[in-house]
Chain A
Amino acid sequence: METNGHWEPPYIQPHRFGAINKFGKRSVKDNVVTEVFGVSINDLVAQYGSPLFVLGEESLRANVRKIKSCFEQRYNLCAHGWSYKTNYISAVCRIMDQEGSLAEVVSNFEYEKARALGVPGARIIFNGPNKSQAILERAIAEGAFIQADHMEELRKIEAIAGKLAKKVKIGIRLNFDTGFTEPWSRFGFNLESGQAHEAVKYISRSQNIILAGLHSHIGTFVLEPRAYAQQVRIMCELMKELEGMENIEIQNLDIGGGFPSKNALQSIYLPPEQAVPKISEYADAICESLLEGCKYRKEMGKDLPRLIYESGRAMIDESEVLISSVVGTKRLPDGRRAAILDAGTNLMFTAFWYNHPVKLTREYFGIEEETVLYGPLCMNIDVVRNSIQLPALNAGDKLLIANVGAYNNTQWLQFIEYRPNVVLISESGESHVIRWAEDLSVMMAQDNVPPHLEAKGKQRKFGNSSLTVLRPAASL
Chain B
Amino acid sequence: MQKQLAELMTTLNKNQRLSKLAISEKGFLFDPETGQSFTLNYSGMQTLNHLKRGESLEDTAKHLADEFKIPHDTALNSIEAFLIQLGRYI
Contacts and interface: CB of A to CB of B under 8 A. Distances in A.
Interface of A: 1-3, 5-15
A11 B79 CA distance: 9
A384 B69 CA distance: 34
B40 A11 contact: yes
Contacts of B79: 10
5 contacts: A10-B46, A12-B38, A12-B40, A12-B86, A12-B89
A205 B69 CA distance: 87
Contacts of B43: 3, 7-10
B29 A1 contact: no
A9 B78 contact: yes
Contacts, number: 59
Contacts of B48: 10, 12
A386 B41 CA distance: 22
Given A7-B43, A11-B85, A12-B85, A1 B25 contact: yes
A286 to B, nearest CB: 52
B39 interface: yes
A2 B78 CA distance: 20
Contacts of B44: 10-12
Interface of B: 25-27, 29, 36-48, 68-70, 74, 78-79, 81-82, 85-86, 89
A9 B27 contact: no
A438 B44 CA distance: 44
B73 to A, nearest CB: 13
A393 to B, nearest CB: 15
B68 A10 contact: no
Which 3 residue pairs are nearest across A and B when measured between Cβ atoms? Answer: A10-B44, A9-B78, A10-B82
A9 B85 contact: no
A21 to B, nearest CB: 13
Contacts of B47: 10
A12 B49 CA distance: 13
A11 B70 contact: no
Nearest to A369: B41
B59 to A, nearest CB: 15
Nearest to A335: B39
Nearest to A15: B37
Interface of A, secondary structure class, is loop
Contacts of A6: 68
Contacts of A9: 43, 78, 81-82
Given A5-B68, A7-B70, A9-B81, A14 B25 contact: no
A12 B25 contact: no
B22 to A, nearest CB: 14
Residue among B27, B39, B69 with most chain A CB within 10 A: B39
Given A7-B68, A12-B44, A13-B40, 17 more contacts: A1-B27, A8-B43, A9-B81, A10-B43, A10-B45, A10-B78, A11-B40, A12-B48, A12-B82, A12-B86, A13-B39, A14-B36, A14-B37, A14-B38, A15-B36, A15-B37, A15-B38
Contacts of B68: 5-7
A15 B89 CA distance: 11
Contacts of A7: 43, 68, 70, 74
A27 to B, nearest CB: 20
Residue among A2, A11, A14 with most chain B CB within 10 A: A11
Nearest to A3: B42
A364 B1 CA distance: 36
A14 B39 CA distance: 6
A203 B45 CA distance: 79
A14 B68 CA distance: 25
Residue among B27, B41, B44, B46 with most chain A CB within 10 A: B41
A390 B2 CA distance: 36
B17 to A, nearest CB: 14
Given A1-B25, A1-B26, A1-B27, A10 B41 contact: yes
Nearest to A2: B42
Nearest to B47: A10
A127 to B, nearest CB: 55
A364 to B, nearest CB: 15
A12 B87 CA distance: 11
Contact of B38 (A3, A5, A8, A13): A13
Nearest to B74: A7
B68 to A, nearest CB: 4
B82 A11 contact: yes
A361 B44 CA distance: 28
